[in-house]
Amino acid sequence: MQSDYCIVLITAPNRESGRQIARRLVEERLAACVNLLPGITSFYHWEGQLNEDEEVLLICKTHHEHFERLQIEVKAIHPYQVPEVIALPLTDGLEAYLHWVDESVRRD
């Protein structure tokens, strides 16, 4: 059974880019809350080369029903050609917090 809630992970190249994405998602009510974690190091292959880059990680709490629209918003403003935007099911949580998520995101 699919959870109604999910955690969306997004990486961005710097704090300013991460702040812009986080603000847009919360303003558009596509995420109830976005945490921005600075100082992560990512290792990955891109265009045939191994890369090591400092990035920021965004942790977004939302409803699964908003994931498609959230992806569209992120791709529209993200500086990467292929941004990381992945969703993980949120299977349980404090009832009051999940109620707050319900009230904070748009209901389609």
* Tens digits of residue pLDDT in 8-53: 999 999 999 999 999 999 999 999 999 999 999 999 999 999 999 9
pLDDT of residue 108: 61
Residue-range domains of the chain with CATH: 5-104 (3.30.70.120)
Tokens at residue 33, please?
Answer: 């809350």
For the chain, what is the mean pLDDT?
94
- Give dist(CA 51, CA 16) in Å, integer: 21
Q: What are the pLDDT digits (tens) for 83-102?
A: 999 999 999 999 999 999 99
- Give dist(CA 16, CA 30) in Å, integer: 19
Tokens at residue 19, please?
Answer: 């702040």
Q: What are the pLDDT digits (tens) for 61-84?
A: 999 999 999 999 999 999 999 999
* Cβ neighbours of residue 16 closer than 8 Å, sequence gap 6 or more: none
Smallest CA-to-CA distance from 97 within 23, 19, 7, 28 is with 7
- Read off the amino acid at residue 13: P
